[in-house]
Structure 1
Amino acid sequence: MTTVTPELLQRFDVPGPRYTSYPTADRFVEAFGQADYVQALEQRRHGPAAMTLPLSLYVHIPFCESLCYYCACNKIITRHHERSAPYLSYLSREVDLHVQRIGHGVNVSQLHLGGGTPTFFNDGELGGLMGMLRQNFNLVPGGEYSIEIDPRTIDEERLRTLARLGFNRLSFGVQDFDPDVQKAVHRIQPAEQVFSLVAAARRIGFESINVDLIYGLPKQTPESFERTLAQVAELRPDRIALYGYAHLPERFKPQRRIIAIDLPGAGNKVAMLARALAAFEAAGYIYVGMDHFALPNDSLAVAKRQGRLHRNFQGYSTQPDCDLIGLGVSAIGKIGAVYSQNAKTLEEYQDALDHGLLPVARGLAVSRDDLVRRSIIMALMCQGRLHFEAIEIAHLIDFKRAFAAELEVLHGMQAQGLVELSDSGIEVTPMGWFFVRGVAMVFDKYLQADRTRARFSKII
């Protein structure tokens, strides 16, 4: 792995999109509604994608028993588990409305349950959800079926239930093992609990285990985080997602409970990232891209080596770029050249379904220019290389003429050792992989026009 200096990390310590889509979700408009989304679904049903491309499904379960102060997700804090059954009923209505438009039994190769806390549902409710999905879609063998786990809500027997229901991938929210940090963010979960659950998941036979970590949390120091890194190396999950904490209390109300003076300074935050990169390299992990690391034999690392990485609203994926149906409050979907997002409040979500409508609150029909730039950004983010001819043939443009200004900016990045330019294309260097969001940002038309980037997390 290329050595990344704290100085270089500091230079690129700027806000920017994560590019789980292009255009990014903050560009969605309320002028896009249910009728536009229905049209996209019906076009898919009668187009070639219906027969050749499987779907991806995302199900958002918003409920959490307790509040994590760093959280920026759409969630509902409640200990009233009786709220689960009505929500499951509304999810079933939403699925029915989709099946009416796209047909019954469409192949699905990727399913992800996120939240909130998906394991807020009890075993019977999770079984009901999976049964309902299987009645309406064909979950193909060999697909990726994952669920986010709050270690405080699960034991070995529940893990066995998840395996029986068809889940083959788990993602554990760890964030940090340090007790002082856990107390500061209101998420107490002893390391022993996580180690025990991961060992159980391995015995049961889950194909891949991911651990989420966050650096930049209150009470963290480079030294305390290094202890967490050592524990993670000992835990040895198949994948690691390492995120930088973005403190935006004006946007995310729970973060107002974090004491600002407890947050590490910019220098310490960069030092944590530098130590994490070194620790994961020493432990044998492959840097997949952005915040993702994987063991060499994990399918994500294999896909990177083979140039088969893709990217969607769940992050990097080994699955082909396919249409995504988002189910539940605030869920985001992509059908063809259309993005959509459901209503963000439970009341609005339920009201739409009570009236027999899909609960779409906003979205975007992408333009021809968006499609070209999406192809460029995803090629850079996933393969780390771009061939001008491929873009020219696919979109009938003269690349160097259409993107002369962007190429000029990239010449500066070439001088910094982040990219290599040639007559035939762009190559992200091993060093540039750590700053690939910054490279992709060069081609973001909306970001060029809007210099207000405070809405985004830092790119490193």
Structure 2
Amino acid sequence: MSNDNSLFRPDLLAKYSANGPRYTSYPTALQFRDDFDPADYLRSAADPGASSTDLSLYFHIPFCDTVCFYCGCNKVATKNRAHARPYLAQLKREIALQAACFDTRRPVSQLHWGGGTPTFLSHDETAELMAATREHFMLLPDAEAEYSIEVDPREASPETIAHLRKLGFNRLSLGVQDFDPVVQQAINRIQPLEMTASVMQAARDTGFHSIGVDLIYGLPHQTVESFSRTLDTMIELAPDRLSVFAYAHMPQLFKMQRQMDPATLPSPDVRLAILQRVVERLTGAGYVYIGMDHFALPTDELARAQAQRTLHRNFQGYSTRAECDLIGFGASSIGKVGDVYAQNAKDLPGYAAAIDSGKLAIRRGVRLSADDRLRGDVITQLMCNLELRFDEFEAAYGIRFAETFEPELERLRGFEQDGLVSLATDKLEVRMAGRMLVRNIAMVFDRYLGQQTLERFSRTV
């Protein structure tokens, strides 16, 4: 067994690198069924036993002014801002339809706008959508909730940031990806440092609770040296949270990725060297490594939640609000209510047709089995708290953990020999060297992986 418990082990990262889920849900969206009955969702929404659970609201705004070549999100690229008007009207109708399904005395403690580019909407339109939300749902006061929005610094002035704060948003997520101008040109995202710095300063000036930034490694023309410069600049800007994603090159699924020359992508060895530099720079600068590709300052709510074992995962990634029922609004959005996942129509015409006819736009989904609930809980605990305490699952599910998961624990012996996990009779712990491979560890407990193609998922490293 290896005794090396350092965070970065290139030999192990290379050995275990594979395609796998990010586990923002379990089962993953690939298991959602087209013959899903929306009545299952309605029954879960109306369940009186859920009245003690807070609500989380997610709004998908699919529009972008320009397309970033690396992007795999569900989006509509257009410079015609008028396209937002009918979509906004449909969102408002959907808010009313969803509110009618729930006890709206249940407080909303989390809200997130994603995309696309939510700031594609005008100031008046963002105000209109937030007003409609407050009309139908009870949003908790600022100090008691997390209201976040994804912002593109290329089209968000300091006035925009001040406007969003007045609407109630208190957490900002900024897309940056890379500060290097050669990389920006290759990915069709020209974003000078001044734009990002201006937005971050405006967010601090207006009292946002937390600022998060997304970076991507593995993009065209990136080198260890060039990305080191981006990291040094980002450390100076000092966001509260950083997500440093591995670029997933899947041009067969995302045709815009074909605009990039694959010969300019860094080799696997260079990608690993960049990742090593990320870990060294950020942890050396005082960031806590949360897991997978997330870092946070010790003072940030994300780091505090992990320390208190209250960290959670949902479709926006790591979350500080566990056990909320999640309602999804907009094309392609996914909700989770009770034991049901439900996804709206992905295409705008299909979404619009349903909402305009007075019906929810749910097209796919799944009701969790007892095994799904158990395994989903195991995977969530691994991804968030980096350990499994067997007695907690035995008390909650009436099982003997070692017996129920005997094959999985046996498979983990190889991980243990490589120094990635520690196995005891009463618990499983992810060691420091295993944090970057926590997706691989979680995959051991996923009973669906043998039934589907892993090529639909991104690389774990």
Q: Is 1:454 aligned to 2:458, yes or no?
A: no
Q: Is 1:36 aligned to 2:37, yes or no?
A: no
Deviations 1:324-351 (A, max 9, x none): 0000000011001100110000000010
What are the within-5 Å matches in structure 2 for residues 309-328 of structure 1? 309-328=311-330
What are the within-5 Å matches in structure 2 for residues 413-424 of structure 1? 413-424=415-426
Matched residue SS, 1:56: strand
Matched residue SS, 2:243: strand
Deviations 1:208-256 (A, max 9, x none): 0000000001111111111111111111100001100000011112112
Matched residue SS, 2:422: strand
**1:6 matched residue in structure 2:** 10
What are the within-5 Å matches in structure 2 for residues 169-318 of structure 1? 169-318=171-320
What are the within-5 Å matches in structure 2 for residues 66-145 of structure 1? 66-141=66-141, 142-145=144-147
Deviation, structure 1 residue 160: 0.5
Q: Is the 8 A contact 1:34 1:357 kept in 2?
A: no
CA distance, structure 2, for counterparts of residue 11 and residue 199 of structure 1: 42
Deviations 1:416-436 (A, max 9, x none): 111111111211112222211
CA distance, structure 1, for counterparts of residue 349 and residue 450 of structure 2: 36
Judge which range, 112-121 or 380-389, deviates more: 380-389
Letter in 2 for 1:201: A
Q: Is the 8 A contact 2:46 2:103 kept in 1?
A: no
Deviations 1:264-300 (A, max 9, x none): 1111111111110001011110001111100111111
Q: Please, which runs of 5 or more residues in structure 2 have no aligned partner?
A: none
CA distance, structure 1, for counterparts of residue 9 and residue 384 of structure 2: 23
Matched residue SS, 1:205: coil
CA distance, structure 2, for counterparts of residue 103 and residue 84 of structure 1: 29
Deviation, structure 1 residue 398: 2.2
CA distance, structure 1, for counterparts of residue 363 and residue 155 of structure 2: 31
Matched residue SS, 2:100: helix
| Closer/same/farther in 2, CA of residues 312 and 212 from structure 1, 3 Å limit | same
Letter in 1 for 2:89: S
Q: TM-score, normalised on structure 1?
A: 0.97
Q: TM-score, normalised on structure 2?
A: 0.97
CA distance, structure 2, for counterparts of residue 227 and residue 359 of structure 1: 45
Deviation, structure 1 residue 12: 2.2
Q: Please, which runs of 5 or more residues in structure 1 have no aligned partner?
A: none
What are the within-5 Å matches in structure 2 for residues 279-428 of structure 1? 279-428=281-430
CA distance, structure 1, for counterparts of residue 14 and residue 460 of structure 2: 11
Deviation, structure 1 residue 8: 2.1
Deviations 1:105-136 (A, max 9, x none): 43100000000000000000000011000111
Q: Of 28, 44, 55, which residue of structure 2 is paired with 1:24?
A: 28
Q: Is 1:64 aligned to 2:64, yes or no?
A: yes
CA distance, structure 2, for counterparts of residue 250 and residue 449 of structure 1: 21
Deviation, structure 1 residue 455: 0.7
CA distance, structure 2, for counterparts of residue 238 and residue 389 of structure 1: 34
CA distance, structure 1, for counterparts of residue 395 and residue 73 of structure 2: 40
Deviation, structure 1 residue 22: 0.5
Q: Is the 8 A contact 1:309 1:317 kept in 2?
A: yes
Q: Is the 8 A contact 2:183 2:220 kept in 1?
A: yes
CA distance, structure 2, for counterparts of residue 443 and residue 106 of structure 1: 33
Q: Is the 8 A contact 1:23 1:370 kept in 2?
A: yes
CA distance, structure 2, for counterparts of residue 8 and residue 277 of structure 1: 15
CA distance, structure 2, for counterparts of residue 177 and residue 12 of structure 1: 30
CA distance, structure 2, for counterparts of residue 371 and residue 58 of structure 1: 22
CA distance, structure 2, for counterparts of residue 203 and residue 94 of structure 1: 34
Q: Is the 8 A contact 1:37 1:360 kept in 2?
A: no
Deviation, structure 1 residue 34: 2.7
Judge which range, 197-206 or 139-148, deviates more: 197-206
Deviation, structure 1 residue 3: 3.9
CA distance, structure 1, for counterparts of residue 136 and residue 145 of structure 2: 16
CA distance, structure 2, for counterparts of residue 241 and residue 192 of structure 1: 20
Deviation, structure 1 residue 37: 2.1
CA distance, structure 1, for counterparts of residue 160 and residue 184 of structure 2: 24
RMSD, matched Cα = 1.2
Q: How many residues align?
A: 455
CA distance, structure 2, for counterparts of residue 444 and residue 35 of structure 1: 27
